[in-house]
Amino acid sequence: MEIVLPFDMQVFFSNVNWPELVWGAILGSILIPLFWSGVKLLQRYYQQTRPIQMLLGRIGNNREVAKVFVRDFILPQGSQVLSIEPRHGVGVVPNVPHLWPDVEGRTLAYVVNVLGRAGKTENINIVRMSEDEGEWNANIIVLGAQAQKCFDFYEQMEEVAYKMDGSEIYNYRGRIIPRETGYGYGIILKARNPFNSAGTAFLIGGFGTLGTISAAYYFKENFEKLGREFGQKNFGVVVRCPISAGEEAVERLRRYDKSFN
């Protein structure tokens, strides 16, 4: 049985450029998807090689849990917390059993600012040190330098460039870092967390409030510089700030920079 096409369809098929049609189908089904896959790979490569992503490592990934450990204080029962308002003077704040030091709150704000710049907006857990039972199996950021969690960080993490006790800063070989009077000193550490596969661990702190806030401020203002200079390496830097000035006067003592290959 012979099939006869309508006249307009005969004209259509007679005018079709079949080689071009075939190549068009190939382009549409193979090459164009390959092109968009390449674009996505380039986007991913760009994101992973940005200085901030190299600095933060897995902490900057929204799918990864990042735990930020903050020191807090517990008040004895019956303690009074006072607040000051310029318009109303001094008043009592009721029902406040827990307090964060001012420096911890400001330091946390600086660190969260950096995480936000990296696009990290999910899976950020703030952990009170008073409630910490030894949590290490995560990407971690420890704020401060002289709490018990900090001492554990120095001992438990790997490739730790510096550590502090109540009076001195020591490098990874145990040598004391000399300090001048009139300055607050701080450290920024990136180390490997052996309790979390390929995990990242940061410690940002210093001597007293000035040392800690200065280290956090330097971290916020120079995260891209740190990422460009150290890449994905673990490292430690020492910073200092004059006690007569605020954290904006912080300077990095580059002669003490240490990175691990």
CA distance 111 to 71: 15
Give residue 26's pLDDT.
62
CA distance 116 to 111: 9
Give residue 101's pLDDT.
79
Give residue 43's pLDDT.
47
pLDDT lower than 70: segments of the chain: 1-28, 30-49
Predicted model pTM = 0.79
What Å distances lie between residue 129 and 71, 133, 152, 197, 236, CA to CA?
A: 5, 8, 12, 23, 23
Give residue 246's pLDDT.
86
Closest CA to 153 of 224, 223, 69, 230: 69
Give residue 124's pLDDT.
94
Give residue 24's pLDDT.
65
Give residue 219's pLDDT.
97
Amino acid at 84: I
Give residue 238's pLDDT.
98
139 membership: H or E segment, kind and range: strand 139-143
Tally of CA atoms within 13 A in the half-sphere of 105 that contains its CB: 5
206 CB neighbour count, 10 Å cutoff: 29
Give residue 15's pLDDT.
59
